[in-house]
Structure 1
Amino acid sequence: MVLTLAGSAATTLAAPPGFLSFDTALALALHENPALVASAAKIDAARQAAIPAGALPDPKLALGIDNVPTDGTDRFSLTRDFMTMRRISVMQEVPNRDKRHAREAVAQGRIEVAEAEARIVRLTVQRETAVAWISRYTLEQQLLRIDALFAENRLLDAAVRARFAAGQGRADETVAPRQEAALLEERRDELIARREQAVALLKRWIGAAAEAPLAGAPPDWSIARDTLMQHLAHHPALTAFDPLGRVLDAEADEAQAAKQSDWSVALSYQQRGPQFSNMAGIEFSFDLPVFTGTRQDPRIAAKRAERAALDAEREAMLREHAAQLAGDLAEYERLSRAVSRQRTVLLPLADEKAALTLAAWRGGKGSLSDLITARRERIDAELKATALEGERRQMAARLHFAYDEPLLSEESK
């Protein structure tokens, strides 16, 4: 998986230098984010730990001296007494086959757990990077509109002064455009601060590249409600319970296998005095699990209880994600309607009102205060339309990156 991510990043990073597109931001996040590096290291650690999982324990070497006399003329003699022997032995412990197979299953399950956690981290990085990029993009679009409004404000100020110079206006009216400019400055300062916050958040996921100027626009994903609902059980946070369950099942099997006897074999070589023959021996030993009621059985029961707890946790998370998905879909639909209403109804009405009040003011039939109010309403409508579109795209990103992309792509075919 790491090689795939690196190759994907290398392809996308071929974008024009000095700019940060949406795809480039995602590629950087997948290529350099420390959370993904940590996930890859955990997978590697689990794979390395699985290599010796089913192997026999290391053999043991024992050195000793047997039958040393402690009194008499041969006291503490190591050579003369025929009973004294120097001993070297090698022992191999052999856990029963079921126990070794269970340990292999536990190790394999932990690899799958690490891979499932890596998928969750990957989607989280993609989702949060997308949300942060869209947030910055939205704020910069609002700042561009504020700059355009400053140009309109300067034209209004010039028109008010010219009207006053021609004796067609009041002196206090010349203050209104400057008041509007001050309010625009306040709005711009607020947007600049929020933009800096968005850059800081984006920097968490892609590093210093977050400060580069943006290029392009975010994608407009198609959110299929039925597809998301059908694949709710395949949410990565839920599928991660499957390998966890397999680990607990294998650990329960290992505890069950402890009821069977393990055994060991030892080969020994014993050296006696030069006048006596050396000796060899073989020894077999077996575990006697005779107290299963207080040793093995409680461990088995503990693993089964953990398995039952895991199943209950999965059901609780399934309900949580079902509620969250329903809420997110409802919010996405609300935002879609709000964007449409803002773009097709409220913003055109605000433009029309501003145009009508401007025409009335120029014809001497309307007041400048009414014009300033109408212009402020239009400013609010324009900025709100951009903000709503940003919120809709952010919600779409959260829904889109809730699942592995191949899963949803396959369903859409």
Structure 2
Amino acid sequence: MRVIVLGAGLLGVTSAYYLQQLGHEVTVIDRQATPAAETSFANGGQISVSHAEPWANPGAPLKVLQWLGKEDAPLLFRIRADMRQWLWGLQFLRECTPARTRHNIEQIVRLGTYSRDTLQQLRRDTGLAYDQRTQGILHFYTTQKEFDAALAPAEQMRALGCDRRVISADEAVKLEPALAHIRPQLAGATYTAEDESGDANRFARELVKLAETAGVRFLMSHTVTALREAGGAIDHVEATDSEGRFQRIRGDAFVLAMGSLSPLYAAPLGIRLPIYPAKGYSVTMPVKDASRAHQVSLTDDEFKLVFSRYTSASGDRLRIAGTAELNGYDRDLNRVRCEAIVRRVEQLFPGAGEASEAQFWTGLRPATPSNVPLIGATRLPNLFLNTGHGTLGWTHACGSGKSIARIVSGLKPEVDFAFTGLRAAAQSPAVKTVSTPV
């Protein structure tokens, strides 16, 4: 089949790669000049199955209320006259029950574990290099309350096959000596040895090279203006190139992987996607003192920050990313939030990074209220979704890409996950053998 993938971020690129592997003729369309230039450009870098507790959990409503109006809050709802934001917020509250949280953790862990395994297999098969580190991920806690709240989710993750081990503060410092500076503040930690980190943008660019060599066509600097329906299916995509020339691009199947823009393109087709942009921030700075900088990828759950380290020919860098601001499609850098991240880094690892050379970035994460992404079929038999991954696009990229490729091909996904719309899709000619996992 001719498959058109809309979006050349991590999810679009992995979808295209695995679709080509299954024998399809694939074209990818993206408005940017280079792949992974938006949300996938400077994310936190973690392949973090252990980061499976959704934002929507029993403790979230009180925290959100406490953080309202605080410019440096880890999760900031900036209230707007925006019905989509209000509806998303109500759905978010419904996902905060203990039962829903347990269900969502289960989905996120299953997909995450499968995706991590898929990435590792891809690396073995192709030799891809992207500043990866396979030293695990350490979640650390500087308050007893936060540490205690992490114990039950960690236990559930272990039961699901994610070996997120609870360890003492001393064990955490032994694993990551850079934490010695804050040893008196550490209440405890968890450690997942199989988790990884790496430069997501570099990964995407390297995978594009492999995909192009295999025959995937990339139409970069092409802005999609509409998806056109005819006869109950998508007939073509309308787009303009960098010089404003209009094009109609036809295919047999279409994969919507446009991140936070996905609901804007789906809505005219009568498809309502519960996705809202959550603006995340990152700081990248050169390593100043290697002895003070972390080696293991870290997660500071209290401040909603993740820490990675990239060592390559271009230099030794620290990447710190996180927080979330729900403020529509605003992309402006908020200096208060940027400086709050740098301040936290200096508190934890004083002198580790060259703060005076810090580079700030922001991107819009496509967040669902549950943090469970939308992967699968729609009511239109040839339109498929691979979007809504929130903070876990890098963690879930390979597993999601391989799964949607199988769904488009009429094959059953290899992971037990709550894929979207598969019962309806099973009745269409394009997808013949899929079923909805429990």
TM-score, with structure 2 as normaliser = 0.19
* More helix per residue: 1
* More strand per residue: 2
